[in-house]
Amino acid sequence: MKQYKHLWLAALAMVAFTVYADDKPYREFGDVKVFYSAFNSSFIQPEIASNYNIVRGKDKGLLNIAVLRGDKPGGTTALVKGSVSNIFAQQQILEFFEVREGDTVYYLAPFRIDNEDYLTFKIEVIPDPNQPPLSLTFQKTLYQDK
């Protein structure tokens, strides 16, 4: 169980790197907040990556999505899907997998990156199957780990 906390802490640390003065690492949709961060997979320690079958590499990125409803800590389950594309309109479909650590739930999706890759992420989150999807788009430049 201890290794899970390390992955969650690493993912939260990546959120800190993605925040700019006028940008938040989440989008609000009523009482639902969708947190997001994209980072190089080499930031995850090898033993943690192995536990989750995450392939680390200088050209591998990870997208982290967490969905929080109201004041409920730890997140909630949701259907998450999306894509990422570069400036040449080369698109990758993101394949998310769910990670549970006690009461905490979040979703990770691996993707390929080139060096200094300016990426556009388009994400749909469905925390309630009886409601329309929540859509968010954000952009991030990622660099290959040397």
Structure tokens at 72: 């409920």
Decide: pTM greater than 0.75.
Answer: yes
pLDDT digits (tens, 9 = 90+) for 128-137: 999 999 999 9
Is the pLDDT confidence value at 22 over 70?
Answer: no
CATH number of the domain located at residue range(s) 2-142 in this protein = 2.60.40.3340
pLDDT at residue 68 tops 80 = yes
Count of alpha carbons within 13 angstroms of residue 83, beta-carbon side: 7
Please name every residue paired with 111 in a beta bridge, in sequence order, or none if there are none: 61
Task: Indicate the pLDDT class of residue 15, thresholds 50, 70 and 90.
Answer: very low
**Rounded to whole angstroms, how far apart are CA atoms 11 and 38?**
9
pLDDT for the residue 143? 87
Where residue 24 falls among pLDDT bands split at 50, 70, 90? confident
Please tell me the number of Cα atoms within 13 Å of 71 on its side-chain side: 0
Q: What contacts 90, CB < 8 A, 6 or more positions away?
A: none
Tokens of 88: 């040449």
Percentage above 90 pLDDT, the chain: 63
pLDDT in tens, 92-103: 999 999 999 888
Phi/psi of residue 42, each to 5°?
A: -70, -10
Domain residue ranges of the chain, discontinuous segments joined by +: 2-142
Contact by Cβ (8 Å): 46, 7: no
Q: How does pLDDT run across 109-132, given as a tens digit for each residue?
A: 999 998 888 999 999 999 999 999
Q: What is the pLDDT of residue 11?
A: 53
Residue-level pLDDT at 7: 57
Helices (DSSP H) in 19-121: which residue ranges? 46-51
Instruction: Report residue 82 as tokens.
Output: 């999306």
Q: How far apart are CA 44 and CA 115, in angstroms?
A: 18
